[in-house]
Amino acid sequence: MASLRALECLLAVADSGSITQAALLLHSSQPAISHQLAALERETGTTLLRREHRGVKLTPAGRAAVADARRAIEAAASAVRSARAAGQAAGGSLRLACAQSLVSVLAPVIRDWHCRHPDVAISLRESTSPDELYGFIDSDEVDVLLVPAPETGRFMVTVVADEEIVLATAADHPLARQAAVRVQDLNGARLVHFAPENGLSAWLDWSLTKAGVRPEPVMRTAVTAAAPQLAAAGLGVAVCPVSAISDGFPGAVRSFSPRWTRQLAAVTAATPDPLAARFIGNLRSHGVRVPRGVRAQLAGDDPPPATTPRPSS
């Protein structure tokens, strides 16, 4: 296959009409230019240039080659520009995926990137299934995956934040009167649980079993953010990551004692490229932002919203 250098030599000769001038343009020597042209003619099996007293002229084959050679050189230059732009977060594309509950963690960072790096195309996929999420990495469908930190050594894992696990209840629930709750307080409690397809389901079952606690699941939802809303409506209590609690949450939010946290990690197939590395760095500096009202409740500075007592049934 013809080298880009040989095509550059052909273009330089075609544009200048002289091997001597082509050597000057390319900061090379005449023998080196001639060597590249001879190699190109051997590759094509035909004569590309006619050497005349006043310089060189292209043969019909040479003229045909020049058009494609010019496109090849321009394409190579464009590839370099695109790669440089991606490395500087000035262009390229970034494919993201996350656990469904972590969209709220990614959203403000993506918003900042749309403002600061408008030429970077960003796509996002989300799922409640860990197997599906890691499959995105295995099949090279995403560049960066945000999930609770995995224990596997198959991927490159960068811890980006610690996230608190909290209890969500109705404002008038007995546990809402406590500044903080113990995991043991959930024993026998009515629990708004997660559906089996949500990775939080197995994780929560394991955590509660390890603590020797057996709540009473009253319903299940696949949508992480739905669990605290259902709890706030009085169906039970929900144990969920704080990222699932939205601003203006109508119920009560309480920390556990001792404080319960999980690590969040950015997962890549290998060492992240410069574009992905810069995004991961922004995730680390941003962390998990907790809405002001939720933060006030967790700090004990703000009571839960007042509610109208629900009629008994």
**Domain of residue 9, residue span:** 4-87
Q: What count of Cα atoms within 13 Å lies in the side-chain half-sphere of residue 84?
A: 6
Q: Are residues 39 and 176 in the same domain?
A: no
Q: Are residues 126 and 161 in the same domain?
A: yes
225-230, long-range: CB < 8 A, 24+ apart: 225/101, 227/168, 227/192, 227/193, 227/194, 228/168, 228/192, 228/253, 230/192
Q: Are residues 65 and 199 in the same domain?
A: no
Q: Is residue 246 part of a domain?
A: yes
How do residues 116-158 score in pLDDT, each as one tens digit?
989 899 999 999 888 899 999 999 999 999 999 887 678 899 9
How do residues 207-230 score in pLDDT, each as one tens digit?
999 999 999 999 999 999 999 999
Mean pLDDT over each residue of the chain, to the nearest integer:
88
How do residues 3-37 score in pLDDT, each as one tens digit?
888 888 888 888 888 888 888 888 889 889 888 88
Between CA 115 and CA 111 the distance in angstroms is 7
Between CA 78 and CA 86 the distance in angstroms is 12
Q: Are residues 102 and 82 in the same domain?
A: no
CATH number, position 51: 1.10.10.10
Q: Are residues 227 and 138 in the same domain?
A: yes
Asked if the model's pLDDT at residue 59 lies above 90, the reply is no
Handedness of CA 77, 142, 281, 253 (dihedral sign): positive
Q: Are residues 163 and 262 in the same domain?
A: yes
Residues of the chain above pLDDT 90, percent: 54
Find, among 233, 265, 240, 244, the residue nearest to 255 by Cα: 240
Asked if the model's pLDDT at residue 80 lies above 80, the reply is no
pTM for the full predicted model: 0.67
Out of 66, 87, 108, pick the residue that ends a domain.
87
Residues of the chain above pLDDT 70, percent: 91
Out of 87, 105, 137, pick the residue that ends a domain.
87
Q: Are residues 206 and 171 in the same domain?
A: yes
Mean pLDDT of 238-245: 94
Between CA 283 and CA 162 the distance in angstroms is 12
Q: Is residue 310 part of a domain?
A: no
Q: Residue 81 has what pLDDT?
A: 65
Of 66 and 232, the structure prediction assigns the larger pLDDT to 232
Q: Are residues 117 and 239 in the same domain?
A: yes
Q: Is residue 308 part of a domain?
A: no
Total domain count, the chain = 2
Asked if the model's pLDDT at residue 279 lies above 80, the reply is yes
Out of 87, 120, 142, pick the residue that ends a domain.
87
Between CA 55 and CA 196 the distance in angstroms is 78
Mean pLDDT of 189-194: 97
Between CA 200 and CA 223 the distance in angstroms is 10
Q: Is residue 312 part of a domain?
A: no
Q: Are residues 72 and 98 in the same domain?
A: no
Q: Are residues 183 and 236 in the same domain?
A: yes
CATH number, position 283: 3.40.190.290
